Amino acid sequence: MTAEAMSPLKIVPMVPKVVSPAPEAPEMATLAGQAETDREVEPAVRVRGLTVAYGSTPGIKSIDLDLPERSVTALIGPSGCGKSTFLRALNRMNELFQGVATAGEVLVRWDGQFQNIYAPGVDLVELRKRVGMVFQRPNPFPKSIFENVVYGPRHHGVSNRALLAEAAEEALHQAALWDEVKDKLNAPAAALSGGQQQRLCIARALAVRPDVILMDEPTASLDPISTGKIEDLLGKLSKDYTIVIVTHNLQQAARVSHKTAFFLNGELIEAAPTLQMMTNPRDRRTENYVTGRFG
């Protein structure tokens, strides 16, 4: 599949700072408005009144946001705006940090109905099987490529070698890494390049068969070519998965996402289809940000 076919929209030149596409930006045919109408807009995740506080400082304040199913939602905003905090609240990873308090609801489609993941008694293991995560820097385990991919299934009780091999191959195909590693599955993951490692981490998350994949600036540490590969991959994956991506790169948000949410000082300023956000934002602060007046 070519890059054009999977890119949901083209950024329309409208203001000096945002126009220049990154080196890997493909020529695109579709516009976001079109892409949006073709899609189911039913949300996979509904966030209601989500507040996360570190000690006394509120990290994010009372956020309401729907994350559409099988599409890419980009979270943008300047450093410290709370976009990563919001992301980590979606699979309850914030709780790994001491002194974090969360209020509000995150409703995840779970066996056909929406379930609040902050309700008492929610099984975190089950939650994280449904809502996977890819981190800012590639963080493969100090194990072989194969063992990295099957880490999830293995710990969820799959021990049959053939099943694991099947799952690994499928996930590596999905992550567009299979052809590069099929002959060295037993080589250490650390021997791969940074970009390959990040795709391995995506494969590792896919092998758990989640519904939602959270990505926290997944290309921040990668070169443009590796970044391009991952962006292409996002387009493909969004046909089957609900993806939420934090990015500080506006062009990236424009290239890969269907919906964009703009965060500022812990508040959600605006969320809309990406093209609208980039060309015709409702809020003055969004406009200032996307036109590069601050960042």
Binding footprint of another protein on the chain (CB under 8 A): 91, 93, 96, 124-129, 132-133, 135, 137, 139-143, 151-152, 155-156, 187-192, 201, 204-205, 208
Residue type, 17: K
Beta bridge partners, 197, equal: none
Instruction: Tell me how far, at minimum, the Cβ of 92 lies from another protein, in Å.
Output: 10
Instruction: Tell me how far, at minimum, the Cβ of 244 lies from another protein, in Å.
Output: 13
Residue among 2 and 159 whose Cβ is closer to another protein:
159
Beta bridge partners, 106, equal: 47
Alpha helices in the chain (DSSP H): 3-6, 16-19, 32-38, 83-89, 124-130, 145-149, 151-155, 161-174, 178-181, 194-206, 224-237, 250-256, 274-279, 284-290
Instruction: Tell me how far, at minimum, the Cβ of 143 lies from another protein, in Å.
Output: 7
Residue among 7 and 91 whose Cβ is closer to another protein:
91
Residue among 197 and 226 whose Cβ is closer to another protein:
197
Residue among 72 and 205 whose Cβ is closer to another protein:
205
| C-alpha angle 212-243-25 in degrees, rounded to nearest 5 | 160
Instruction: Tell me how far, at minimum, the Cβ of 133 lies from another protein, in Å.
Output: 4
Residue among 77 and 140 whose Cβ is closer to another protein:
140
Say which residues have a Cβ less than 8 Å from residue 105's Cβ, sequence separation at least 6. Answer: 46, 47, 48, 49, 50, 116, 118
Contact 234, 258 (CB under 8 A): no
Residue among 26 and 140 whose Cβ is closer to another protein:
140
Instruction: Tell me how far, at minimum, the Cβ of 46 lies from another protein, in Å.
Output: 21
Instruction: Tell me how far, at minimum, the Cβ of 117 lies from another protein, in Å.
Output: 13
Q: How many Å apart are CA 201 and CA 123, to the nearest integer?
A: 23
Query: What is the chain's length?
Result: 295
**CA–CA distances in Å: residue 63 to residues 130, 264, 274:** 22, 12, 19
